[in-house]
Amino acid sequence: MDIGNCFHCGNEIIKKEEIIFDEKSFCCNGCKTVYEIFSQNDLTCYYDFQAAPGATPLDIQGKYDFLDNEEIVAKLLEFQEDTTHIVSLYIPHIHCSSCIWILENLQKLQSGISTSQVNFPEKKVRITYNPEKTTLKKIVELLCSIGYEPYISLDNYEEGKKVVDRSLIYKIGIAFFCFGNIMLLSFPEYFEVEEFWINQYRGFFRWLIFALSLPSFLYSASGYYVSAWKSIKSGLLNIDIPIALGIVVMFVRSTVDIVFGYGQGFFDSMTGLIFFMLLGKLFQKKTYDFLSFERDYKSYFPIAITKILSDGTETSVQVYDIEKGDRLLIRNQELIPVDGILISEKASIDYSFVTGEAVAIEKKSGDKIFAGGKQMGKVIEMEVLFSVSQSYLTQLWSNDVFQKKVEIKHKTVTDKISRYFTPALLILAILSFLYWVFIDVTTAFNVFTAILIVACPCALALTAPFTLGNVLRIMGKRKLYLKNATVIEQLAKVDTIVFDKTGTITTNKKTSITYEGAEFTSDELKLLKNTLRGSNHPLSRRLYDFIPAQERMEQNEFQEIIGKGIFAKFGNTTIKLGSSQFLAHMSENTHKKTKVHVEINGEYKGSYIFNNQYREGLEFLFENLAKKYDLVVLSGDNDGERKILEKMLPKNSTIVFNQKPEQKLNFIKNLQKEGHNVMMVGDGLNDAGALAQSNVGISISENVNVFSPACDGILDASQFEKIDFFMQYSKNAMKTIYMSFGLSLLYNLVGLSFAISGNLSPLVAAIIMPLSTVTIVSFVTIMSNFYARNFN
């Protein structure tokens, strides 16, 4: 005898097995134990998001003993250091907001877990924990004890998580089979043929049609019933409720017609409706998959890595050209793009990009180093263990630690409409039915069903993701790689653009360099070349390429002070490179030129003078941008090039010199206090703070691997003159979203007016509904591609 549902999992309770605890009913001890765990840890809010959201925990005695094996655990871990391990687990039971909430509060259930983040679409949880306080086995057992058993396949862990779900294809196939055959059997009814043999078998045909409709009704449409039921249980009304209701009403009405001999019913319309709705869902899924694939595998980070060839020469390669066994050179502040083995004697790696904690970890030769770390100090060499995982780097970059808090207006509009859409639709359908039922019962049912089917917020909800997804893809192909879709809306709001000078509006490649001072000996030139080898500053890279090739030397010490210069030690010899203020023997530079001064063993040697080459098209770019934006140039150099810049920049532009990194950050902060939306364009090394502070931070990449996770986009230096295109394109993207919002609302209004007036059959409504999605996706694709060509 059933007496009710379990408070935790929602399953029906058999009377003799009922367990009462805390005035609540549970179906078994497992569910009661989970409730106790949550209560003791003040986590009962879990039950506030959705009624009975849990799953009955299974007995896992000894099942995960293999996780005591350190070699197996090492294969499952994404990241492994002394006090920090990171693992991503696939959890099939993740299905609602309660799941997300409890899984992101695991640190309250077990000490040793520092953070846990849920990726809802992929049903994964990424857990960071301290191996000295807990183990992976204990974490998995905890997850099992609260009803979230992870799927772990040792044979093929990666593929195990990506099982292809073909259920939608099967459902479409069955729905099409049923729809086609029912249409065939219904032809005599359509043409009202009165032949004797047809009349004789009419009843048989009708019951055969009924039988053929059952697989489509019970199996193909099952997803809509499940979704609608979960939605009702959670107290929210989603779009699947009116669809499921429309299908059920058509089935019941058609069954009544056949049983009482009123006619053949609407089984042809019902199966057609299910078929076209599922076809629309498949189209939507394929489009999302396409955008996701483009995002992960084609829009690579445009950052260059220095590869050491077999003959010892160094060459710059793109991050996605790295292969297993390659030897890489990693300079100070550079991102480690792949997992590898450290070849150099020692290294100091900052894993804040991975863990969120800015603590450098010391490594020695032979140790494994992980992708996402940043080398701190002298140059190191490493051997690649695996080719680059673009999706992993993207995942790290999109970490919540580096997200800026922004309001997404289009999402707010979509959420509000979706919230009230379903209740309003149900009320309208019922009122229309009550009106028509007194005029014509058949028309009343048709009107009721057509209203439920034709009106759909799907097209409205798809507008923004499809537009922004396509824009991300197009920008990626044009070598501007954005962190995520929200950056596009922020780009459209920008009213002030701040540029760094060195390495941003000047180019690394076409600079003439001259030297003033005492001539270097061959040994001193060797010291200078090897010191510059470890630095990533734009001036260091230019000077390194300018000095002839030299024999390699091992550094004892290396320090790079941002905004000042470099200190290095080779045996008993010290060398300093940098600004005049950084070198004790020099006074303020009075020549007003960009210089790098050199000091060896405390003796001032001279300086390299850089005659900066500004990027091609800079004047034209500034001229275009000045029409719509306030322009600012911030430079850490002296004002020796003020007159040149004043000629290049429009009259109302601001130029500020002698700016240290923290002063750049404060300058942007003050602009924001005045109400400006600021975009900062700079390099990832000296401008990291300013890039993080700005509303949108764009890092310029030119044969360097300096990456600031706080930046919102990386622009290949070859596309610098196209900045005005990207700015206008982001505005056009938002315009496209609002145009398609209007198109979607117009579709709903026209469709509903026809349905209410009785001029729209349920079958036509079923065809129109997925077509509206196709129309919206086609519209935003065409418009975003048109704008991309228009501003080429």
Lowest-pLDDT range, 26-40, 517-531, 722-736?
26-40
pLDDT in tens, 374-394: 888 888 899 988 776 655 666
- Report how far apart, in Å, the C-alpha atoms of 29 and of each of 3, 402, 444 are: 17, 42, 51
More confident residue, 405 or 333: 333
| Alpha carbon distance 256, 265 (integer Å) | 8
pLDDT for position 416: 61
Sign of CA pseudo-dihedral 205, 211, 214, 216:
negative
Q: How many CA atoms lie within 13 A of 50 on its CB side?
A: 23
DSSP-based three-state secondary structure for 90:
strand
| Alpha carbon distance 324, 347 (integer Å) | 21
CA angle, corner 391, sides to 386 and 393, nearest 5? 75
Lowest-pLDDT range, 11-15, 17-21, 448-452, 669-673?
11-15
Any bridge partners for residue 558, and if so which?
568
b/e map 41-71, b = 16+ CB within 10 Å? eebeebbebbebbbbbbeeeeeebeebeeee
pLDDT for position 289: 61
At 449, the pLDDT band (50, 70, 90 cuts) reads confident
Contact 661, 653 (CB under 8 A): no
742-767 average pLDDT score: 81
- What average pLDDT does the structure give for the chain? 78
Residue 727's identity, in one-letter code, is: M
| Residue 78: pLDDT over 90 | no
Most confident residue range from 129-138, 264-273, 287-296, 638-647: 129-138
| Alpha carbon distance 114, 515 (integer Å) | 53
| Residue 781: pLDDT over 90 | no
DSSP-based three-state secondary structure for 12:
strand
More confident residue, 196 or 40: 40
| Alpha carbon distance 185, 169 (integer Å) | 24
| Alpha carbon distance 263, 442 (integer Å) | 11
| Alpha carbon distance 43, 55 (integer Å) | 16
pLDDT for position 296: 47
Please give the structure tokens belonging to residue 537: 């500053």
Query: Rounded to the nearest 10 degrees, what angle do helices 762-790 and 723-756 cross at?
Result: 160
Most confident residue range from 93-102, 221-230, 673-682, 776-785: 673-682
pLDDT for position 457: 63
**DSSP state string for 526-580:** HHHHHHHTT--SHHHHHHHHHSPP------SEEEEETTTEEEEEETTEEEEEE-T
| Alpha carbon distance 678, 93 (integer Å) | 43
Q: How many CA atoms lie within 13 A of 99 on its CB side?
A: 22
Query: Euclidean distance between the first and final Cα of the chain, in Å?
Result: 72
Q: Which of 713, 699, 295 is nearest to 474 (CA)?
A: 295
Most confident residue range from 290-304, 594-608, 762-776: 594-608
pLDDT for position 287: 60
Sign of CA pseudo-dihedral 586, 591, 595, 598:
negative
More confident residue, 403 or 44: 44
510-528 average pLDDT score: 84
Contact 466, 600 (CB under 8 A): no
Lowest-pLDDT range, 197-211, 326-340, 582-596, 610-624?
582-596
Lowest-pLDDT range, 195-199, 238-242, 247-251, 509-513?
195-199
If phi over 0 gives left and psi between -120 and 50 gives alpha, with beta otherwise, what is residue 617? Answer: left
| Residue 373: pLDDT over 70 | yes
pLDDT for position 402: 55
Residue 282's identity, in one-letter code, is: L
Residue 166's identity, in one-letter code, is: R
pLDDT for position 69: 82
Query: Would you tell me how many other CB atoms lie within 10 Å of the CB of residue 210?
Result: 20
Tokens 């990449």 sit at which residue?
701
| Residue 87: pLDDT over 70 | yes
At 731, the pLDDT band (50, 70, 90 cuts) reads very high
Contact 409, 489 (CB under 8 A): yes
| Residue 729: pLDDT over 80 | yes
344-366 average pLDDT score: 78
Any bridge partners for residue 80, and if so which?
85
- Residues 6 or more apart whose Cβ sits within 8 Å of residue 324: 384, 385, 386, 387
| Residue 426: pLDDT over 60 | yes
Contact 592, 640 (CB under 8 A): yes
pLDDT for position 301: 55
pLDDT for position 98: 63
CA trace torsion 393, 399, 401, 404 (10° rounding): 100
Q: How much is the pTM?
A: 0.66
150-164 average pLDDT score: 54
| Sheet of 368-369, strands arranged across | 314-318, 304-308, 327-330, 380-384, 340-342, 368-369
Please give the structure tokens belonging to residue 89: 């687990």
More confident residue, 426 or 234: 426
At 175, the pLDDT band (50, 70, 90 cuts) reads very high
pLDDT for position 158: 43
At 288, the pLDDT band (50, 70, 90 cuts) reads low
| Residue 603: pLDDT over 50 | yes
pLDDT in tens, 662-719: 888 889 889 999 989 999 998 766 677 788 888 898 888 775 555 666 678 888 888 8
Q: Which of 119, 102, 110 is nearest to 43 (CA)?
A: 102
335-359 average pLDDT score: 79
| Alpha carbon distance 177, 160 (integer Å) | 32
pLDDT for position 647: 79
At 142, the pLDDT band (50, 70, 90 cuts) reads confident
168-185 average pLDDT score: 89
343-372 average pLDDT score: 80
| Alpha carbon distance 179, 186 (integer Å) | 10
| Alpha carbon distance 360, 544 (integer Å) | 27
Q: Maximum CA pair distance of the chain?
A: 116
